[in-house]
Amino acid sequence: MKVECLVTDVERGARRGLSAREVEGLALGMLGVLAFSMTLPATRVAATEMGGTLVGLGRAVVAALLAAVLLAATRQRVPERRHWGGLAIVVLGVVVGFPLFSALALASLPAAHAAVVVGLLPAATAVAAVARGHERPPLVFWLGCGLGVVAVLAFAVAQGAGLPRPADGLLLVAVALGGLGYAEGGRISRELGSWRVICWALVMALPFVAVPVIWVGARDLAGSGLHMDARGWAGFAYVSVVSMFLGFFPWYRGLAIGGVARVGQLQLVQPVLTLAWSAWLLHERVSTATVLAALLVIASAGASVAARPRGQNGRLGSAPSLSGLTARAAESEVGNADRRS
DSSP 8-state secondary structure symbol assigned to residue 109: S
Segment of 101-110, 120-129, 311-320, 326-335 carrying the highest mean pLDDT: 101-110
The three-state DSSP-derived secondary structure of 124-192 is: HHHHHHHHHHCCCCCHHHHHHHHHHHHHHHHHHHHHCCCCCCHHHHHHHHHHHHHHHHHHHHHHHHHHH
Tell me the pLDDT tens digit for each residue of 38-66.
999 999 999 988 888 999 999 999 999 99
Is residue 107 scored above 70 in pLDDT?
yes
Residue 185 CB neighbour total at 10 angstroms: 28
Percent of the chain with pLDDT over 90: 35
- Residue 131, pLDDT score: 81
Q: How far apart are CA 177 and CA 154, in angstroms?
A: 22
**Max CA pair span of the chain:** 61
The helix or strand, by DSSP H or E, that contains position 265, with its residue range, turns out to be none
Q: What is the mean pLDDT of residues 178-207?
A: 88
- Residue 48, pLDDT score: 87
Cβ 7 vs Cβ 30: under 8 Å: yes
Q: pLDDT band for position 312 (50/70/90)? A: very low
- Residue 208, pLDDT score: 94
Mean pLDDT for the chain overall = 80
- Residue 305, pLDDT score: 66
Tell me the pLDDT tens digit for each residue of 231-256.
989 999 999 999 999 998 888 788 77
Inter-CA distances, 172 with 67, 116, 157, Å: 28, 11, 14
Higher pLDDT, 215 or 17: 215
Torsion sign, CA atoms 273, 269, 251, 113? negative
- pTM metric for this prediction: 0.78
Q: How far apart are CA 154 and CA 144, in angstroms?
A: 15
